[in-house]
Amino acid sequence: MSDDQSAKRPVPTMRDIAAAADVSQSTVSRVLSGVPTAVPIAPETRQRVLRTARELGYRPNPLARGLRGASTNLIGAVVRDFSDPFYAGAIEALVVESMAHGYNVVLGHAPGRSGEVASSLTTVLETRHTDAVVLLGDMQEHPQLLADLRDSIVPVVALWPGTSPREFPSVDADDRAGIRAGLEHLVSLGHTRIAFVNAELPNEYRAREDAYLEFMRERFGAVPPGYAERSPSALAGGDAALRRLMDRADPPTAVAASTDVVAVGVLHAAYSLGVRVPDRLSVVGFDDILIAAHTVPALTTVRMPISEIVGYAVTQAVRLAREPAGGERPPDLEIFAPDLIVRDSTAPPAQE
């Protein structure tokens, strides 16, 4: 196809989506708008419509909608940490899911305790006329941002809120269940000397560490001294933590980490120390970030259901944006279960 022909290709409409997905145009409109319906739309139908919209490249015209006094189809996203690979994956999922609903995403960054940056985010998002705001990560370090959003008419949905107060509809994963799944896997292989490396996150979020401590006390009566390590949430943190653990007189035969980033640091330290994984040391991570399947050996980890969490959050945000302003928005919490992904970094302990 020539450039001229490509340039003249018609912009896909809801009618085109309806024809391709074999549904009515009104069904397409209801799915893309997120408006609650008296007659529920089957999940299979909803997914078919969203998939078809993506494939056809459907995009509503935000300027035209704005001139009609309607939605401009923008979702504001405030992200705690752009540098964290976990949030990079979450942002990608958010953009894909939002575009499937006919929305674009405006990104804002709320790093560390930068009050000046955070306090200006609400103004930026409101200036861009966002229909809803999605928070990615624990925002308790930014009380002014939370206060501004609380007072705003724009609906807010919080993802992975951590220690933040429950003020908005929220979506999270069952961290406790995920940690226990990884530990049960190690125990099933025969491990008893299991250490844990907890990434230090904002506001001392320790749900995953607490789950480890609870599990070890239930299963073995106590946590071996020095087996619960804390480290910066970085590769170097996991590296340093494993070196301390392996210096012990009774080093662990397995290590569970609270994040994949820390787990990759553990793998690096094991390689540097000549500790073969999984022959002498088994390693389990948490999150299943992109690199987890490509480490050597490939990392056994707990998969964070990012797509499911983000998909639910965007659907909620779109639904709330379509409701009359000032309506009740109870701070409900929806929990999704993570899955254990067994790869090559775990095996039975070596015979001593």
Mean pLDDT score of the chain: 86
Of 36, 59, 65, the closest CA to residue 105 belongs to 59
Could you read off the pLDDT of 14-32 as tens digits, one per residue?
788 889 999 887 788 778 7
Same fold, 74-173+306-335 and 175-304: yes
Could you read off the pLDDT of 28-67 as tens digits, one per residue?
877 876 655 656 788 888 888 888 888 888 766 554 444 4
pLDDT at 123: 53
Q: Averaged over 76-105, what is the pLDDT?
A: 92
CATH code reported for the domain at 14-60: 1.10.260
Could you read off the pLDDT of 195-249 as tens digits, one per residue?
999 998 877 789 999 999 999 999 999 999 999 999 998 999 999 999 999 999 9
Say what the pTM is.
0.78
DSSP annotation string for 7-66 = HTSPPP-HHHHHHHHTS-HHHHHHHHHT---SSPPPHHHHHHHHHHHHHHT----HHHHH
Architecture of domain 175-304: 3-Layer(aba) Sandwich (3.40)
Q: Averaged over 120-145, what is the pLDDT?
A: 75
Q: CA–CA separation, 302 vs 284, rounded Å?
A: 8
Of 212, 338, 345, 199, the closest CA to residue 261 belongs to 199
Residue 257, SS3?
strand
Residue 114 burial (CB count, 10 A) = 13
Architecture of domain 74-173+306-335: 3-Layer(aba) Sandwich (3.40)
| Most trustworthy range by pLDDT among 58-62, 101-105, 205-209, 267-271 | 267-271
The domains of the chain are located at 14-60, 74-173+306-335, 175-304
Residue 260 has pLDDT above 80, yes or no: yes
